[in-house]
Structures are given as C-alpha cells and as structure tokens.
Amino acid sequence: MTDCAVILAGGQANRMGGGDKGRLMLGDQSLIQRVIERITPQVDAVVLNANGDIHRFDDLGLPVVADSIEGFPGPLAGVLAGMDWAAEQGHDWLISVAADTPSFPRDLAERLAGYDTPVVLAATPDPERGRLPQPTFGRWQVSLRHNLRAALNDGVRKIRQWTQAQGETLVVFNEGDFFNINTPEDLAWAEQNLK
C-alpha cells in the first residue's frame, strides 16, 4: 500500500437537520466509526476532512484537516484538503470516501488502484446510463492539487466537471455498495438492512 485516504465529513448535513452526520449511530457504532474501520486496512494513513471545531473529533484519533476554500464549496474542497495533507506526508495518491456511507467495499482502494488515469472514480450499474458515478469515492493523483485549487477558486463545484477534464476512469462496483445516509428514512433503512 502506498495510498492514503481522506474521509469526507465536511458537509453541512442539511437533509438530516445539520450537525455531524457521521456521528449518527447505526447499531452500536457511528457511521464514521464504520467508515474508519473499512478504510484503515486498505491504506497507509487516514485523515478526516471536517469544518468547524476540529477538536470535536479528537476521540477518533485521526488528524483532521479543514477545507482551505471558504464557503462550504462541497466535496471537491475536501478532496483538495486531503491532497494537501497527502502531499505533506509524501503520498502520491489519495483515496476519498464519504463519512455517510458505512458499507462501501472492503477492496475499494485495491480496485481503484488498477488504473493509470489521474482520477479513478467508483460507479455502480445503472440500467439507463450503464454506469452511475459515485464521485466521492475515488483515487486521486496528489500532484493535481494545484489544478484543483485553481478550479475551485474559479468556481468549479461539480466533481465530474473537474474530473472529466483531468482524464478519469469509472470502475463499476455492485449495486448498493455505496448506499449513503442522507435522510432519517435512509438511516432507518440502514438499521434494518446493513450489518
């Protein structure tokens, strides 16, 4: 392994009433604890991207980096924060995962590493389009961080708008591999169906 990972937890969780969505409990663990347990064996190091008081995550034992672009510009800013941290640590590649998706594949990093493009994104099957990108789950070449910073400063917010311009590969996983918790109904479903 030579990759590191960023857990994207910098959103505002508006559909869940605000707060730290990753702190929601699913069974006897929080969503973010489940994500940490899944990604840690797959990479050499893990960092958490979150905004606000970073000390509220001290109990997780991970370094925390905030967005360097103001105004909650979305997950690309979290990827950039992760890339900057990865560069400081000497890593060439960054895996990104979302804090609200507790059951992503345990071989995510390995499968994404099998491609040469500067950005490799996870996708799921889609009957109409063939592939449905899951753009918060990806492998990013850290050397792209300056390009990404410039794009964010120019107003780019949509992940695929930027990744397609860099050259991306979509890797298809199984349907349901990236079920994320966005609403109280999603959490209720997950309590019944995710183990």
Which residues are annotated as part of the binding site?
Answer: 8-10, 21, 49, 67, 100
Residue 81, pLDDT > 90, answer yes
What's the pLDDT tens digit per position in 92-109?
999 999 999 999 999 999
Average of per-residue pLDDT across 159-180:
94
Provide the percentage of residues in the chain whose pLDDT is more than 90.
71
Which residues are annotated as part of the binding site for GTP?
Answer: 8-10, 21, 49, 67, 100
131 forms beta bridges with: 125
Instruction: Write down all domains in the chain, each with its CATH number in brackets.
Output: 3-194 (3.90.550.10)
Number of residues written out for the chain: 195
Residue 195, pLDDT > 70, answer no
What's the pLDDT tens digit per position in 181-190?
988 898 999 9
What's the pLDDT tens digit per position in 17-46?
556 888 888 899 999 999 999 999 999 999
The DSSP code sequence of 40-79 is: GGGSSEEEEE--S-GGGGGGGT--EE--SSSS---HHHHH
Which residues are annotated as part of the binding site for Mg(2+)?
Answer: 100
Higher-scoring residue by pLDDT: 81, 69: 81
What's the pLDDT tens digit per position in 154-163?
999 999 999 9
Average of per-residue pLDDT across 83-94:
97
